[in-house]
Structure 1
Amino acid sequence: MVTPKDRVELNVGGRIFETTAATLGIAGEKSFFRAMFDENWNLHSDSAITEHFIDRDPDYFAVLLSLLRTGELYIPPKIDKRLLYREAEYYGILDQVRSAKWGSFDGNRVRLAESISDWSSEARSAKIVQASPSGGCCVAHGGVVRVYDWMLEEHPIIHTEHHNVNDVCWVDSESIVVSSDEKIASGGLGLFNASTGESKYKFQVTDELKGYKAGALSVSSNDKLFASCTDSTTRKHVIGVWDQVTGTLMNFFSCPPHPPHNAARLQWLHDINCVMVVSSSPGDEICLFDLRQNDMVWSWDVKAGEKQYCCGIIDAIAIEKSSSICVLAEQKGMGFVDLRRTDASLNWRNDLMGTDWSYRDDLVHIDEYLYVKLAFHEGQLFSSWGNRIFVYGGSDWLPTSQFERSRGGPIRDYSIDGDRLFALQDNENIVDVWETPRPPII
């Protein structure tokens, strides 16, 4: 039962709204309304009804107050949704707006929500898309990175001084790491502000890495950045480890006796404190580096003993919860390297050496070379092929669904984060945005 003390009167732009402390409390600790209450979310005033004046547009506030009351977002035709989102940002309730627009990402229930296609048609074809933790994305083509927030509004462009972008990686919702064809010592690896496009700093190198260029990137949960680095003159290849906060080089690893060639993917494995390095043809090798031992603890060469199963690695991704690595191979399709431990007391080096390859011919079969990529998100495995994205689930990773755009070319790249999937088309400068509809509130 609502008592008079719970009631709050808000004068927004001259229009009176009456609500409750409990409703405003839904806005959360970081909201505009937090200042009205004490640490226990009780009103500061002891009066029966407390009035607060807010100098904002009342029509937009009415929509947001309805969201706090019902959990549903209804935007009347007269309301500009972009302006509404800015008002939500002012009140500190963007998270509530986002969660009302779409639900947790589920590959079995996705729908095509919007497309991004507003960059110049004269620009070189885009090749990389990376989803951000906040529901936006960035797109790399040529020597620029275009950044979009969760409202799909473009921010200032990130420029790499005419050097082709090799990879991009979100550190958090406000920071992007970019690697380019420029040597690291000259600024070919830098951290940029996602909102302004300005350079925060360039990652430092020692004399040993001055001739190297950075390629594939990955970040860890403990503020480390990993970059695949290659010397174009000597063809030497190492994995550099930097501190994300300071940009200081912490370490670098080579991969004797068979170093990977221009690693196609790096992935941080939190549970075992290792970084996985995947090299495609001609290397066709997967390595694990243990940062505690400062050494490579395991490697798997697809060509050494598995020639009867595949011709080369196209992509691979580790699935830590099932202790396995999913591999896509040319002409054969998808297989799994089993990393399950038989004895918890064994160290990872001895245990991982007993891994095995199992070929799954009931999954996607790769008949020709296309842009094929694996992804893993919230218990679901994804693979792209042509203009389709396949979804797998369950303990046996059986196919559960697939989705595709009604019209459009092959998918060049795709990325999942912030409860959205962004798919970059190869034939056109278009990024499709896939979302999962929010379940109805009963």
Structure 2
Amino acid sequence: MPPFSQSTPISNGFSTDHSKINHPNHHPSTNVITIDVGGQLFQTTKETLTLAGSETLFSSLFDSSNQNNNGVPFIDRDPELFSILLSLLRTGNLPSKAKAFDIQDIIFEAKFYGISDLLVESQSNPSQFEAFDLEKSVLLPLSGRDSPSAIATTPNGSLHVSHGSKITSFDWSLQRKSTTLTNFTAIDSLLALSPKIVAAGATDFSGLQILDLDLGFVRQTLNWENVTKSSSTVQAIGISPEFLFTSFESGRRNSNSIMVYDLKDNFKVVSEISRNEIFGADLDSAIPSTKLNWVPSLNLLMASGSHSGPSGVSGNIKFWDIRSGKAVWEIKETVDCFSDITVSDTLSAVFKIGVNSGEVSYIDLRNFGSYKSWNCLGDTRKVNNGKKEGFGCKIESHGNQIFCGKQGELELWTEVLMGSLKYEKDRIFRKNVLGRMKDLGGNRITNMGFGGNKMFLTRKDQQFVEVWQSSGRRF
């Protein structure tokens, strides 16, 4: 049976000329619109329907030639699904009764009415991310025996996961997935440029590839021309609203650099920064950047890397002005170097997990350039010589929270606001352990990512991705 009471196309069956609003279903005094969906009457207002947008079926209901005998517009669709979408228009969120329906049915119906974008926004709105209420909600299985090596998320909550030579993608609803075979042996760096386009690189394969996962082909390969004319392997990828950043190392591991590409001009080379040619035993130059973070408030790129040598783990953190190509601030790590590092623009601080102590510490960016020492978030204790309690631990920032993967458990650090502070060391952070009792522990956390209102985790030697969501925000 066709969806409408006659076979006229949507564009003809529902005129978008709003100047002819003079039908029995429209009441000027109350602004009420009556609609018959599958034999069930609904009443709403003109303002509610216009929230759907001018190019949608809802906006056409003001001047419909598809009417029943009472002069009310008739749509031959499921009334229960219609009521869910009408509630979405009214409140901006799906009602709780939507949990009783398969999400694909809701998606299909939203596409029919032309409001699928509103559905995506309502279910992947970052403002619905409730850090303290996160629980492990679902496991996303991956094909094959390879564990995830990298993950990349998009703002609407879709996900890309590299495992072995493959990239598996999940849409924002996590109900549809597709797998793309690449020519990498293993992918070490992955970054989403859009729901369908990713940048991928490896430490043992030359070049950064821009992959179209929808069509399954390599759009472009970006390489770095090093002095030795050897391969250029990818150590890290970063992004800003305008630029793509890639840390390269030569195949002979005697030179490294960071390339800056223009995202809006077909990845045209903008500049090259942090170029190092290694001579003798100059370990500082031997360290390529293995993490790249853009800091919007400073308009600088934070590049960090570490190296394990005979005297222990050492590293450096540099803030680069990509316009001048100069490092405007450098922090050298020699004692309790970072196992992992991140920067929070919201909290104005750099955070690290010490590779020896496993402690979380920070440097306040509000006093940018005046480095003194790291401030420990918890109770300060002595470094455990040789034990490397922080080895393999992960840290990421999201909003005004800091998430730490301490082996198998997940910690959440948040700042306790205490009014005006005289010294940066007076800042107070509180730790929480996330998850229900059954969520705690497990294999070591290897990746953390955030998209929309979801958090994604992967663990060592496991062939799936954990999805964490607020208990009140699930379908």
Is the TM value for this pair above 0.5? yes
Alignment CA distance shift 1:83-1:92 (3 Å): same
Please say if 1:124 is aligned against 2:130.
no
Amino acid at match of 1:415: G
1:63 is paired with a residue whose SS is: helix
Instruction: Give, in angstroms, the shift of residue 439 of structure 1.
Output: 8.0
Is 1:73–1:100's contact at 8 Å kept on the other side of the alignment?
no
1:96-151: CA deviation from partner (whole Å, max 9, x where unpaired): 4663698621221112221112x22x431212223321112111111111111121
Instruction: Give, in angstroms, the shift of residue 160 of structure 1.
Output: 2.2
* In 2, Cα distance between equivalents of 1:205 and 1:429: 33
What number of residue pairs does the alignment pair up?
411
Amino acid at match of 2:89: L
1:344 corresponds to which residue? none
* In 1, Cα distance between equivalents of 2:117 and 2:414: 31
- Match among 86, 97, 100 for residue 65 of structure 1: 86
Is 1:218–1:227's contact at 8 Å kept on the other side of the alignment?
yes
2:258 corresponds to which residue? 239
Amino acid at match of 1:155: K
Amino acid at match of 1:389: L
Deviates more, 1:107-116 or 1:361-370: 361-370
2:301 corresponds to which residue? 275
2:183 is paired with a residue whose SS is: coil
Instruction: Give, in angstroms, the shift of residue 79 of structure 1.
Output: 3.7
Larger Rg: 2
Q: Kindly report which structure 2 residues correspond to 1:336-375, keeping only aligned pairs within 5 A, or say none.
A: 336-341=362-367, 352-362=369-379, 368=389, 370-375=391-396
- Match among 301, 313, 320 for residue 338 of structure 2: 313
Q: Kindly report which structure 2 residues correspond to 1:19-30, keeping only aligned pairs within 5 A, or say none.
A: 19-27=44-52, 29=53
Is 2:224–2:259's contact at 8 Å kept on the other side of the alignment?
no
Alignment CA distance shift 1:4-1:243 (3 Å): same
1:322-342: CA deviation from partner (whole Å, max 9, x where unpaired): 43211211122122223323x
Amino acid at match of 1:419: N
Deviates more, 1:387-396 or 1:71-80: 71-80
1:436 corresponds to which residue? 470
Please say if 1:417 is aligned against 2:459.
no
* In 2, Cα distance between equivalents of 1:11 and 1:294: 64
Alignment CA distance shift 1:242-1:94 (3 Å): same
Query: RMSD over aligned Cα, in angstroms?
Result: 3.5
* In 2, Cα distance between equivalents of 1:26 and 1:324: 40
Deviates more, 1:50-59 or 1:370-379: 50-59
Instruction: Give, in angstroms, the shift of residue 24 of structure 1.
Output: 1.9
Deviates more, 1:135-144 or 1:253-262: 253-262
Please say if 1:264 is aligned against 2:290.
yes
Given the two structures, how large is their TM-score scaled by the length of structure 2? 0.75
1:141 corresponds to which residue? 163
* In 1, Cα distance between equivalents of 2:329 and 2:233: 25
Instruction: Give, in angstroms, the shift of residue 279 of structure 1.
Output: 0.4
Instruction: Give, in angstroms, the shift of residue 44 of structure 1.
Output: 6.1
Instruction: Give, in angstroms, the shift of residue 231 of structure 1.
Output: 0.3
1:159-215: CA deviation from partner (whole Å, max 9, x where unpaired): 32143212111223343211135654xxx3122335444433333655767731112
* In 1, Cα distance between equivalents of 2:184 and 2:124: 38
1:192 corresponds to which residue? 211
Amino acid at match of 1:387: G
Amino acid at match of 1:314: S
Structure 2, gaps ≥5 residues long: 1-24, 65-69, 277-281, 309-313, 417-426
Q: Kindly report which structure 2 residues correspond to 1:212-227, keeping only aligned pairs within 5 A, or say none.
A: 212-222=232-242, 224-227=243-246
* In 1, Cα distance between equivalents of 2:347 and 2:121: 31
* In 2, Cα distance between equivalents of 1:64 and 1:230: 51
1:31-88: CA deviation from partner (whole Å, max 9, x where unpaired): 7246538xxxxx568xxx9855556544432332244346442447874322212322
Is 1:73–1:101's contact at 8 Å kept on the other side of the alignment?
no
Given the two structures, how large is their TM-score scaled by the length of structure 1? 0.81
2:399 corresponds to which residue? 378
Amino acid at match of 1:153: Q
Is 1:381–1:391's contact at 8 Å kept on the other side of the alignment?
yes
Is 2:360–2:377's contact at 8 Å kept on the other side of the alignment?
yes
Instruction: Give, in angstroms, the shift of residue 360 of structure 1.
Output: 4.2
Q: Kindly report which structure 2 residues correspond to 1:276-295, keeping only aligned pairs within 5 A, or say none.
A: 276-282=302-308, 283-295=314-326
Deviates more, 1:291-300 or 1:315-324: 315-324
Is 1:142–1:164's contact at 8 Å kept on the other side of the alignment?
yes
* In 1, Cα distance between equivalents of 2:202 and 2:339: 22
1:157 is paired with a residue whose SS is: strand
1:281 is paired with a residue whose SS is: strand
Amino acid at match of 1:65: L
* In 2, Cα distance between equivalents of 1:24 and 1:260: 61
Is 1:30–1:92's contact at 8 Å kept on the other side of the alignment?
no
Q: Percent identity?
A: 20
1:40 corresponds to which residue? none
